[in-house]
Structure 1
Amino acid sequence: MSDVHDTMLLGSEGIKKTILYGGTGDIPKLTTGAKVTFHFRTQLCDDDRTVIDDSKVVGTPMEIVIGNMFKLDIWETLLASMRIGEVAEFWCDIIHTGIYPLVSKSMRRIAEGKDPVDWHIHTCGMANMFAYHSLGYDDLDELMKEPKPLYFILELIRVHHPSEYNRETWAMSDQERLKAVPVLHGQGNKLYKQGQYQEATQKYKEAIICLKNVQTKEKAWEVPWLKLEKMANTLTFNYCQCLLRMEEYYEVIEHTSDIINQHPGAVKAFYLRGKAHMEVWNEAEARQDFSRVLDLDPGMKKAVKKELGVLNMRMEEKNQEDKNKYKGMF
């Protein structure tokens, strides 16, 4: 263990650094586009040093690309002061930690194998983020209500310079992202037609993440933002079509409900949600969604009539099955 010492990070207010384990070599230059891999643990500044997040528990280190608008930009500052292999503890004041709960939520969803897309759909611009009632995790809601200073314990594993790795979508510039969207969309459609639904969802998801990344830099509900929102919603509908084929009905209900909350006139969202409700025997909800579709777009009459026919047949079958099942019980 190297000597423990406190240093203020040069030129940064509200940060104290303690090196817990010295790294090797010179401090790497973190140029724009460099990919940094590191472990992190986030703790409260209470007597128990309560752990909020720990990448080692999740089992995978964190990766960020420098200059890529990662929401918690303070981490770039902290990492820029470290050597490879170094473990350091940073105390960061509230000015740097206010946004942490939002970042933590998206990281947790990714770790749980859920789609970070959902939280993007909920959050249109900073104003809405803070108005949004719950992040779905009690400890993060607590922190959101009352931001606190936090300890970040970081371990710098490696730094790849831009030329040393393939540019994945999250490492692209906004221009490159927008160019990638129609390509990914097309690949997704092709895979869908071939019945490769799992692979298609990956393409759609990547395209949505590209759009949402660009969208976070636009002003919520203004024309450029709305254009991107419309494109992202179209892709989300394609994504949901795949999920229907994969029988992931509850996830379809979740995604379409998110869109309906933001855009109450989204016909396609009601239609897909109605189909998903039908599959999980939510008869009343399905009928309600299909009737909304007809209110919003009478041109969908034929499609809705077909779905309601299927629903009626299903419900009859289910009632008959239930009757037979209970007949033997009495």
Structure 2
Amino acid sequence: MSVKDNKKLVKKFVLSHGKGEDTPYPHGTKVQFHVKSEALFSDTLPEWSSTSVQEDGLQLDGQLIDDSHDWKQPVELLLGKKFKLEVWEECISTMKKGEIAVFIIDKTLVSPYPVVSQTLRKAFSKKPADAKSLQKEKSHHCCGMGLKEGLGHKDLDELVTNPRHMKFTIELLLAELPGSYEKQYWEMSEEERLGSIPQLQEKGNALYRKGNYQQASDNYKEAIGRLENLMLKEKPNDTDWLVLNMQKLPLLLNYSQCQLLQGEYYSAVEHCSTVLEHQPGNVKALFRRGKAHVELCEGQLARRDLQECSSLDPDTAPACSKLLARLAYMEKQQNKKDKKLYASLFDKPLAKDTIISDRNSGSKENDQLIPKDSNINDGKNSIEQNDYPPKKDGDINDGKNSIEQNDDPPKKDGDINDG
């Protein structure tokens, strides 16, 4: 369908001319635009052959359906990707950057608009949908049965029931030709998606070296998500699936390292465990999971991982020993806190004339009064006065370089901890 070839069904009125050459946009052009949508009150369109066609068209009144100026952002569209409302693509293809134009379109060409509008509102509207609308949206599907159940918006449901001619006022803000912008994942071909993963990994590595761990995490996470999407199309444990999974494991290790540095210890445990499911002897995964267990004060799990790590790679033994010493110190401190807490429960004097009953006899005669100043536990020597271990050179509690900043295993495979 071409706007120029369908003057009876589509009529264009230019309100403000844009800039640039009058050439069609190739497929893959990304456009950004504002649109104001109105459902015309009149069911009869003017005779466009009239000499007053511009005036007749602009004077057509309608019910306001949508206005993207009130949304979070303008609408974005990738031309040539089989958009549901094909007529929009055709209209925009006739416009120049900066141009504002009105399009009057016959109702036979805009039947998909209610579904398109619902999608755009859900993505960009500033107003949260009410509970009733959300319930309707959950129950409907984009098919004939779904439309019968309703779209969750009264004005859109009316358009489905009673189709009307539409008036669209479009302002073309941006038109980026293919190759001039970074594609989003959904815009990429299969080959482009696979090729984007090493780029994200390298970008994450560069951010990590700069100490920007949050953005590095975001890049690793995006790369992991893209790989997992590609893996869904393969049969688990087939050759292609295994190749993709092997590409995923280093990303999981890098992500877990960033999570450790940000204090997200449970996340680090989870992602290292995923690596160890496929590579049980992975030293980096064992070390990082062990380190996370130390920070979570999970002694048994931490010792298991760190001892296995040092036995598999003796070069990691010094780093593992320091973490185990830190764990022992943390456990000792926690034990002393617990002792102090339990001691305080018994040290606290009871109120004067508090009655302690002999529950075995059940007799009031056996009840006795406890003097106010009497104490069940005198508290002497219940807690050591010096709760720190003896200080030795290089010990973790001597206040000097107590914990190494980089206590990862020796750098071997070009992982992100090699600086």
Instruction: Judging by fraction of residues, say which structure has more helix.
Output: 1
Relative contact order: is structure 1 or structure 2 higher (C-alpha 8 Å, sep ≥ 6)? 1
Q: TM-score w.r.t. structure 2 length?
A: 0.41
Question: Which structure: larger Rg?
Answer: 2
